[in-house]
Amino acid sequence: MTTYRFKYLLTEEGWKSDALVKVDTEGKILSLTEDQSAIVDHELNVAALPGFQNAHSHSFQYAMAGLAERHSTSSTPDDFWSWREAMYSLALSINPDQLESIARMLYSEMLRHGYTDVAEFHYVHHDKNGSAYENLSEMGERLVKAAADVGLGITLIPIFYQKGGFGKEPTEGQKRFISSDLDAYNRLLDASEKSTELYQHANLSIGIHSMRGVEPAVIKQIAEEGRKDIPFHIHISEQLKEIEDSIAYLGKRPVEWMLDEVEMNERFHLVHATHLTEGETLSLAKTDASVVLCPSTEGNLGDGIFPLRSFQEAGGKWSIGTDSHVGLNPLEELRILDYGQRLISHKRNTYYSQNEGDSGLYAYQKALMSGREAMNNFTTSYFAEGTYLDVALFNLDTPLLSVTNPINLASTILYSTDASHQYGTIAKGKLQVVNGRHVKESEILEDFKNCMKQLANR
């Protein structure tokens, strides 16, 4: 058994002072009380938040973060589609060992920033020639091993990627991604599930790359006939060109088609969904499906701004992700999301409902609950007995936090701190990050440096 005492711990009922948490040898919570006197293993002068959920990640893209900012000076503008070609170049280069090295570094950095779980939207399946590995889930298994090594929970989402666009065959740059038909994808899904069995904090989800990446009739078939016990993730309506192509091919916008053809519920997680009509926004909110927003990546790619205010007002659910990993701080994702809404609405109460007027508390609750659902976790208590202890720890010895009343603490952390204010992270009951450093940082970093020397892309 291990005992932790936090100066403040945020629960669904608000802040608890001198929160004493006992966990068993596996890291599961035995009890949570308020106790100033007990002798504990770890006395932490911190404000502890539930561990952040990263609901959308392409781990290999961490190796190209910051490298797509040198733009052509020709008459052809740089946009998402030119960025995509740079991404394909990297995807065609990495081998399984390199992917594992990149993911270990990335996942340790996620932990450093307070994420305790990640949904890995994984589509680099095959070898460099586009042929299947003997283990169909070789690359996915390396991601599971990376997460296990650093102590991060992972939901592996093997992605069905079939087409090169609406009605188009795959391109050469996509050859490592492709499952030719539903049978091939189901074999990949089965192999991926076996990979998740290697790590107690790994599980599985279904994933469709996009409406343009899989024949729409097959998407409908998977939704109707596929597994119903795991989440369903899909990129959708991220770019205006995607919507134009969808209308030309289907006579409908992507989300419009999903609403008409697929019976969506809380299992469904629509990534980006940037460009929605008012009708799509309201109808999507009523399905109980969630939208996964990745503000730093969406801003970096020039995607656009999701209509969050009207979506929330209609009861819509949302979570956050880091996608291409140009940003890794969950507080930054939440701030960018909020500030984008303030700029287009000219109002400051983005994170607000009739039941909750505290922006910080509202944002944490929304991102946490839908983020958990993205990973097939429907626990509504922040720290239920029998669940694993996951917390992001903020140092109360830092200037602003040291003088802040608990009533202002949630929003002070959200709007006025950065990674330097984070003391550490407990994931699955274990203190994985201490004083801003992962416990395995040195070996992980050395391995990552060697990997990047081999890739020679930076």
Residue 214 amino acid letter? V
Our answer to whether residue 113 is catalytic in this structure is no
**Structure token pair of residue 35:** 């106790």
Looking only at the bridges linking them, the beta strands covering 52-57 and 115-122 are parallel
Our answer to whether residue 41 is catalytic in this structure is no
Q: Residue 426: how many CB atoms within 10 A of its CB?
A: 29
Out of 125, 272, 275, 421, pick the active-site residue. 272
Three-state DSSP at 119 gives strand
Question: How remote is the C-alpha of 59 from its chain's centroid?
Answer: 10
Out of 117, 245, 323, 338, pick the active-site residue. 323
In angstroms, the CA 218 to CA 130 distance is 22
DSSP state of 172: G
**Structure token pair of residue 422:** 């984070």
3-class secondary structure for 327-346? CCCHHHHHHHHHHHHHHHHC
Beta-bridge mates of residue 234: 208, 270
In angstroms, the CA 375 to CA 231 distance is 7
H or E segment at 106?
helix 96-112
In angstroms, the CA 153 to CA 140 distance is 14
Residues with a catalytic annotation lie at 272, 323
